Amino acid sequence: MLLTDTIEKKLIEAFHPERLAVINESHMHAGHQPGFDGGGETHMRVRIVSSAFTGMSRVARHRAINDVLKPELDAGLHALAVEPAAPGEATRW
C-alpha cells in the first residue's frame, strides 16, 4: 500500500472528514539534499476539513494529526504540511 493511501485511511478513521486530500509533494524537493531525486513519498501535504476540529486551536489540530501519523513520521516521512479546518472555516483550497 502506498504511504499516501495509508495516511488517507488513518485520517478517515480518526477524523471522519468532510473533505480530505493527501498530496505527495516529494517531487518538489528534488535536489534539496544530496542524492535526493524527489522520488518516493517523503514530503506530504494533508488538507482536511472535519467537525472533529471544531473548537480546537490550530496547534491542537496539528498535534492530533501528528499523533495519528506518528508511526509514519517515525518510519521516515520527512515532512508533513497540514492544513486542517472545521466545517464552515475558510480554506485556501
Of the pLDDT bands very low, low, confident and very high (cuts 50, 70, 90), residue 33 is low
Question: Mean pLDDT across the stretch 32-47?
Answer: 65
Q: Is 3-85 a CATH 3.30.300.90 domain?
A: yes
pLDDT tens-digit series, residues 48-86: 999 999 999 999 999 999 999 999 999 988 789 999 999
pLDDT at residue 76, as a whole number? 82
All structural domains of the chain with their residue ranges:
3-85
* Residue whose C-alpha is closest to residue 88's, from 22, 23, 18: 18
* Residue whose C-alpha is closest to residue 80's, from 63, 56, 55, 60: 63
Instruction: Determine the Cα–Cα distance for residues 28 and 33; give it in Å rounded to an integer.
Output: 12
Instruction: Determine the Cα–Cα distance for residues 56 and 24; give it in Å rounded to an integer.
Output: 26
pTM confidence score: 0.85
Please check the confidence at residue 38 and state whether its pLDDT lies above 60: no
**φ and ψ of 58, to 5 deg:** -60, -45
